[in-house]
Structures are given as structure tokens and as C-alpha cells.
Amino acid sequence: MDANSSSNEQKAEELKLKANDAFKANKFSLAIEFYSQAIELNSSNAVYWANRAFAHTKLEEYGSAVQDASKAIEIDPRYSKGYYRRGAAYLAMGKFKEALKDFQQVKRISPNDPDATRKLKECEKAVQRIRFEEAISVGDEEKRSVADSIDYHIIEVEPQYTGPRVDGDSITLDFVKAMLDEFKKQKCIHKRYAYQIVLQTVQLLRSTPSLVDVDVPNGNHFTVCGDVHGQYFDLLNIFELNGLPSEENPYLFNGDFVDRGSFSVEVILALFAFKCLYPTGMYLARGNHESKSMNKIYGFEGEVRSKLGEAFIELFAEAFCCLPLAHVINSKVFVVHGGLFSVDGVKLSDIRAIERFREPPEEGLMCEILWSDPQPQLGRGPSKRGVGLSFGADVTKRFLQENKLDLVVRSHEVKDEGYEIEHDGKLITVFSAPNYCDQMGNKGAYIRFSAPELKPEISSFSAVPHPDVKPMAYANNFLRMFQ
């Protein structure tokens, strides 16, 4: 080995140690930078690739994690951690069968590793459960609407129930405030009222187009929030800082209301209740986590089962299929959860025409709206998530010009300050779950637009304390093993 490559290897090892320290401090982007520099100096070390895969997993960049872990395996086919990291990334993407193959391989390489044995068993159980569910599931066209088969009026409220009550069919502000307080004390409302909130929301959402035009009169304002992810106490803090939703103080919550945070039931009932109370004071858009496959893995399904019971799981799934996909404020600002498209020439009329009442597909406009991310380079690239795509400033600019719009606002990604302005100021990411998953240390943010200028005024805020229930407390048992 010449002196040069020996020196490179030594530098690479030093960078790996820096990366490991950054990883331990939950600075995952920085860790990726250091691992990448180490790989540039010595690309034949499988450990660097596997470690970078793990950091990508922490940032939910599962597509990149699979690529890195595959590279580690290519360098050293006997390196069990490569299969382990790739299996974990497949798992997070809901690709249980691919994950199973990788954990079987880990077990072959390390037959006496109790951790590998345990994970393999859990993975086998998950795959069996999925096969069983696929076998008994009915096609969308044969499905009866759950919402249409429930009548909340006939559900008895026992005299000993001491929580807030709704008289008749109209949800009132007093009821909603009392409900928010109950949730603060970690109590739930009666199922009758939970049904009423969700069913009335479904009725409102069904008649909503896939792309909603929002009109903000001159002199009025409108607030856009990003992902909340079951962080109920941070949601209350937004209302504390920016006022409760009302017709005069309207909000748009831009998807990913649930999953990960363990107060997702409280978040969704609060948002839905405000939707019932003020149909034009609360706008809701679908995120990639408003889907059955994500809710199965990331906690919402387990939480609903625990707090409200099995029947609500299908009901929420149906409600999520009714959520609109995009909003346009005053014909100027395009708001969408994920991002833009794999082809040029997409018009607002194409988005209006999307048949959205279904689980999100794995490709096409609806998938890209929910999953895509901006990239610093021009053009389009593969998605670091393994779903959707990455798009550059030129793609953003053309989309805005073709549709006579000024700005794209999207969510979907954690940002240190709760927001990031990219693409020559034409694209803003807003994320409203501070200290995401109790470990990222990020701020949250929301954007307030005032008509007629609609200049974005961004407010950042820090996380507030919450009861000691860990994120992912209700998640798929198997996924929790990897947290």
C-alpha cells in the first residue's frame, strides 16, 4: 500500500469518528456529510456505507439507505450489518417481504445472534399477517362505505360519563374547547362524539374538490402549518401563539397529522372538530401518512385501536381518502404536502381531475403530490425516500409560470428552523412538529399570509413539554425494535 492511500485511509477513519459523534448527537445530516467525505477517501470500506445508510434511515431517506446498504453488501457479501441496515430501511418503507429476505441473510451469517433471531421472528409474523390481510381483503369497488353504515345518534352515552357532551347535531366551540382540555389530561371523549366528529368531517370532505381554491379577502390573513405528526401539545402551542382556528383566523394543515407522535388520535379529532365547527376556518390536505400502509407501521393504527377501538381504524382510513390533495390561495400560492411532478406541463386542472378517493398509488400525480422533495440540483432525480422523485428549481419555476402562480409551499421534511426557503425563493418547506420524535432538536414553524400581497411571514417555535409517552409508543412492534 503506498503512503498516499495509507494516509487517505487514516483520514477516512478520522472522518468516520466525527460522523459517529454527529450521529450520537442526533445531527444526522452532518453525520451523512462526514461519512460521505470518508467514502470519497476510501470507497471500499463497507462500514462507511452501512453507517451512512443508518443515518439516512434516521432522516426517513429510505431509498438512499437501501442504496448505501446494498453498496456495503456488494463490497462485503458476508457483512451482516449491510443486510441488517437494508432490511430496516425496507421495513420502514413497508416492504416486508424484501425485509424478510435480508433478515434471513443476517441469521445465516450470524446464526447465534439473539437480536437477529428476534427480528427475523417478528418479520415473519408481519409478513404472515400481511398475507392473511391480502387474502381476506375486498377490492375497492366491492367495499361498502364504513361512514355510511354508522349512525352515531343511536349510540348511548352512559349517565356516568363526565366528559364534554354535544347536544344534537351541531358541534360547538364550548364543546371543542372542553375536548381540547380533556385531551390535555390524557382523557378521551365518548365514542359517540368521536363518531360524530369523524362522520361530519367525511360529509364535508366528500363534497370538496381534489384541488381547493382558497379565497382570502383583502385585509385578511391565512395560516399554513406543516406536519404535526401526533404532537398534540405542540399543536396546542400553535393555537396559543397564533390563535384558535375560526372563520376570521383560518388555517390550512398541510398533511401528516398522524403517526410517529403518540397523541395522533387527539390531533386528528381536534383538527376534524374545528373542520366541523368552521368549514372555511380549517382546511386539511392529505399527506403521505394519511394512508393505511403508513398507519399500520408508524403508530396511528395501534393508537386508534387502543384509544377508540377497531371500528375506527377503517373509518379514519375512509376519511383520509376524502382529504383534498392541494390548495391554491388567491390564485397565487400552490400548497401541497410533498411536491411537484415527474413530467412538465401539469396544469391545475389535471390536479382537480385526480380520482383521489382511494389509497395512494405507487406512481403518478397523486403519488408525487404526497411524496416528492425538492433538490438543490436542476432537473429531476431519484427520490431519496424510494417513492416519488426529487425536483430542481427549474422544475418549480416552469410549473409556476405555466400555471400563473408565484410560490410553492410544501411540508414533508424536517427542517432545523421549522422551514427552509429554496429554489430562488419560489419554494418554501414548512414543518410544524418541533423536536420531531423527541430527538431531532428542530424548531417547528408556520407561515402567515396577508392579502392582497400574500407575503409569507414565517414564525418559528420550540417544542413544549408533553406527558411521558414516547413517540411510536403504539407503532408496529417490529419497527420499534429499530428506533
- Among all residues, which ones are annotated catalytic? 289
Phi, psi of 458 (to 5 degrees): -100, 130
Report which secondary-structure segment, H or E, holds 293: helix 292-298
C-alpha 429/C-alpha 445 separation (Å) is 10
Q: How many CA atoms lie within 13 A of 312 on its CB side?
A: 24
The cell for 388 is: 416519488
Give me the residue label for grid cell 388567491.
330
Left (φ > 0), alpha (ψ -120 to 50) or beta: where does 332 sit? alpha
361: which residues sit within 8 A by CB, 6+ positions away? Answer: 367
Tally of residues, the chain: 483
**DSSP, residue by residue, 197-247:** HHHHHHHHHHTS-SEEEE---TT-EEEEE---TT-HHHHHHHHHHH----S
C-alpha 380/C-alpha 383 separation (Å) is 9
The cell for 447 is: 407561515
Do the Cβ atoms of 394 and 379 come closer than 8 Å?
yes
395: which residues sit within 8 A by CB, 6+ positions away? Answer: 340, 341, 344, 379, 380
* Omega before 452 within 30 of 0, i.e. cis: yes
Give the three-state DSSP class for 303: helix
C-alpha 388/C-alpha 421 separation (Å) is 21
Do the Cβ atoms of 99 and 85 come closer than 8 Å?
no
Do the Cβ atoms of 221 and 449 come closer than 8 Å?
yes
Rounded (10°) CA dihedral 291, 294, 299, 303: 20
